[in-house]
Amino acid sequence: SDPYVEISTYGIEVDSTKHRTPAVRNNGLNPIWNYKCHVDIYCPELCLLKFQVRDEDRHSGSSFLGQACYPFTALQLGYRHIKLKAKDGDYIHGTIFVHISIEDL
């Protein structure tokens, strides 16, 4: 597989963003993206952060592999394993390893 991650924020209009990592070719077991994403959040109480892992296919589009969604105010700082869920909401045997930092301005 050729996995990539979409990182989306949902909230008030200025807090809604979408970022996408490059796909890692032929490495579905241990992909390393080393991707940094910076997002400005103006209303954290109404913001959700979603991680979605997809498999890129040049011929038929991408296919869903797993996702996780958290309220922005529930995020814990530091290195974290994010457990992924299938479309039906059941946990799958997959995680993504992320580093989360929040800067107050």
Q: Which of 11-15, 25-29, 43-47, 94-98 has the lowest mean pLDDT?
A: 25-29
pLDDT tens figures, 31-79: 999 999 999 999 999 999 999 999 998 888 899 999 999 999 999 999 9
Query: What per-residue confidence (pLDDT) applies to 104?
Result: 80
17 lies in which domain range?
3-100
Number of domains in the chain: 1
Residue 17 located in a structural domain: yes
CA distance 11 to 94: 27
Write down the pTM of the prediction: 0.91
Average pLDDT, the chain: 94
Q: What ranges make up the beta strands (E) of the chain?
A: 3-10, 17-20, 48-55, 63-71, 78-85, 91-100
Q: What's the angle, vertex CA 52, arms to CA 73 and CA 42, rounded to 5? A: 30
Residues of the chain with pLDDT > 90, as a percent, come to 88
Residue 105 located in a structural domain: no
| CATH number, position 18 | 2.60.40.150
